[in-house]
Amino acid sequence: MVPGFEGNMWVKWVRRIAVYDQAVEGREETSKYTDLMPDGRARKWTWVMDAKSVITSPSPQAPIRHGAGPLVITGLAWSGNGKIAQVDVSVDGGNTWAEARLSGDVKPKALTRFHFDMTWDGQEMLILSRAVDETGYVQPTKDALRAVRGVNNVYHNNAMQVWWVRADGEVENVEIA
């Protein structure tokens, strides 16, 4: 268990523990979990997950089945750099945002549930959430991340996730610009 670090560091089986005075530079450590940048060089030892969030309902696996009317948009946010301070939700593809409620006891590096109450008019929506952590880091768009990291850099994708909600309540995973 390594709270705040990328998931692959949450080791499944411990066979033995050895302590070295230098990096072992194992196969996964060098060839897989390094982050190739647009200039052809690569970041290494990138372990912390930056602030991230995702809407869990509605989502492709949790479509809206009750039709137009009161709707609670909910999801999870987390940050490897501390507590979640704020989560904003947009239902118009990121043009306007409103702050969501956080529930429970917000702890550092822990999943934090957010809720956003609204009335759905039954029209299509592009919904997304945006986490802000206690350091002031704001979860970026995918385009903003690509501008820095290029397109061959996936292990630390903490970009905002966009869901396309259809009028029939079905939800699709999309990118927008």
Q: Is 94 a binder of other proteins (CB under 8 A)? A: yes
Q: Is 136 a binder of other proteins (CB under 8 A)? A: yes
- Coil vs helix vs strand at 8: helix
Q: Is 5 a binder of other proteins (CB under 8 A)? A: no
Q: Is 140 a binder of other proteins (CB under 8 A)? A: yes
Q: Is 130 a binder of other proteins (CB under 8 A)? A: yes
Q: Choose, by CB under 8 A, the member of 2, 48, 102, 110 that binds other proteins.
A: 48
Q: How far is CA 157 from CA 46, 64, 145, in A?
A: 12, 27, 8
Q: Which two tokens stand for residue 50?
A: 């930056």
Strand pairing report for 84-90 and 125-133:
antiparallel
Q: Is 15 a binder of other proteins (CB under 8 A)? A: yes
One DSSP character per residue, 110-155 reads: S-EEEEEEEEE-SS-EEEEEEEEETT--BPPPHHHHHHHH-SS--T
Separation of alpha carbons 112 and 99, rounded Å:
14
Q: Is 1 a binder of other proteins (CB under 8 A)? A: no
Q: Choose, by CB under 8 A, the member of 1, 7, 19, 22 that binds other proteins.
A: 22
Name the residues that contact other proteins, by CB under 8 A: 8, 13-18, 20, 22-28, 30-32, 34, 36, 38-48, 50, 60-63, 65-67, 86, 88, 92-98, 126, 130, 132, 135-140, 144, 148, 151-152, 164, 170, 172-177
